[in-house]
Structure 1
């Protein structure tokens, strides 16, 4: 199974045209606002001696932080250009990065065979995946966990769609970083709230804890307000 040619090209194009400057991608927020508080929610349930796999790692900002909390951190992304960004940014060689297609069960299974049971960190991947690919993304989380791993998954809620619409309809159009997302054909906040829960359940994942949150972005409205997207987080284990 593979993602569509359009979807792959959209992500390659986005990351090829993104510089190495921190925060240029709208979701490339500082770990103090993302992976750090997320680890505080995950680690009461997870064994930090197991590897952690950052699914959809992009340029690896969160992966490098995860490497400070787990014995081994591996960032994976569909985009070759994103992985090149991540490797350049990781000057301390604290993490590992590799290109991986989450909807390819053979690739996911091969990673699982190499590293064994693992923890998973996934921030806002299901919501921007094509509808036909979302079950495979959720299944990839379950595959990587095995019986001992635990996952932290955060996904945008329907309320974030309203926030994005408001930002896009502002006088002068959407802010620069959000405009780049739209220009590359990426579709944020595409999954329904109940769909995310159903996908996790169907993949054989049990919710150990959950709650509401926001995913802070690196772009701002004209009045200086930071764009914070409403989201829901889950700590998960295999059923």
Structure 2
């Protein structure tokens, strides 16, 4: 099984055209406002020492590099080869980051590929930010199953997804009289439809995959773009910590 080809092509096209510099993509906020806040929430649950971490949907690697300073091994995986190349180019442009993280193109619902990664790494922690809500409906349960495989018995997953409330906000931005914010526009142009998962569906997907919801909460997802009046765009999101208790 693999991700629906339409979505794979949409992401490949998006990342091929995305600028190289950090912060040029709508969700590519600095780690202090994203992975740093998320790691602080997850830390009490990361009690299995020495486990590697998988950044699932790593994109251009901004958060992956941050996480690589805090775990013994970090592997960023992404559906898009162009995204992986962005991440590798960013590492090459900052020599101090070379070798801290590794990046691979991997379809996260490719059962054989995920099992091979699990065999290589053993139990692992997983960080996933905003991937489920950008999947086709048929791909969501297999994605949750893949995370369960990667976590094994000891790993913990930190999952953050846009809340339902984010959908109307994004649509309002898209239909603004001045047009969508410049960094949001390419998302719509490539046919990527964010915020299409109900709030109740996310924990249900992980429960169905055999994982326990260890903690959950809400926090804004901070983007890199601004409204016409200069206000930074923040979107409501919900987070979960999952694993086998």
Range of TM-score over shorter length = over 0.9
Structure 2 partner of 1:125: 131
Task: Tell me the secondary structure at the aligned position of residue 43 of structure 1.
Answer: helix
Pairs within 5 Å for 1:90-109? 90-91=91-92, 92-93=97-98, 94-109=100-115
1: distance between equivalents of 2:193 and 2:14? 13
Asked if the contact 2:4–2:139 (Cα under 8 Å) also holds between the matched residues in 1, the reply is no
- State the Cα RMSD in Å: 1.0
Structure 1 partner of 2:155: 149
1: distance between equivalents of 2:171 and 2:6? 23
Q: Is 1:57 matched up with 2:58?
A: yes
2: distance between equivalents of 1:220 and 1:167? 10
Of 3-12 and 108-117, the range deviating more from structure 2: 3-12
Q: Is 1:178 matched up with 2:184?
A: yes
1: distance between equivalents of 2:145 and 2:190? 27
CA drift of 1:191 comes to: 0.7
Q: Is 1:166 matched up with 2:166?
A: no
Asked if the contact 2:129–2:159 (Cα under 8 Å) also holds between the matched residues in 1, the reply is yes
Pairs within 5 Å for 1:41-80? 41-46=41-46, 47-80=48-81
2: distance between equivalents of 1:19 and 1:210? 34
CA drift of 1:238 comes to: 2.5
**TM, length-normalised to structure 2:** 0.95
5+ long unaligned stretches in structure 2: none
1: distance between equivalents of 2:39 and 2:178? 38
CA drift of 1:48 comes to: 4.9
Asked if the contact 2:164–2:195 (Cα under 8 Å) also holds between the matched residues in 1, the reply is yes
Task: Tell me the secondary structure at the aligned position of residue 177 of structure 1.
Answer: coil
Task: Tell me the secondary structure at the aligned position of residue 22 of structure 2.
Answer: coil
1: distance between equivalents of 2:178 and 2:169? 16
Asked if the contact 1:48–1:69 (Cα under 8 Å) also holds between the matched residues in 2, the reply is no
Structure 2 partner of 1:84: 85
2: distance between equivalents of 1:208 and 1:77? 26
Asked if the contact 1:207–1:234 (Cα under 8 Å) also holds between the matched residues in 2, the reply is yes
CA drift of 1:73 comes to: 0.7
2: distance between equivalents of 1:175 and 1:21? 18
Task: Tell me the secondary structure at the aligned position of residue 110 of structure 1.
Answer: helix
Task: Tell me the secondary structure at the aligned position of residue 176 of structure 1.
Answer: coil
CA drift of 1:236 comes to: 1.0
CA drift of 1:227 comes to: 1.2
2: distance between equivalents of 1:208 and 1:49? 20
2: distance between equivalents of 1:204 and 1:238? 8
2: distance between equivalents of 1:150 and 1:217? 25
Asked if the contact 2:203–2:213 (Cα under 8 Å) also holds between the matched residues in 1, the reply is no
Q: Is 1:36 matched up with 2:36?
A: yes
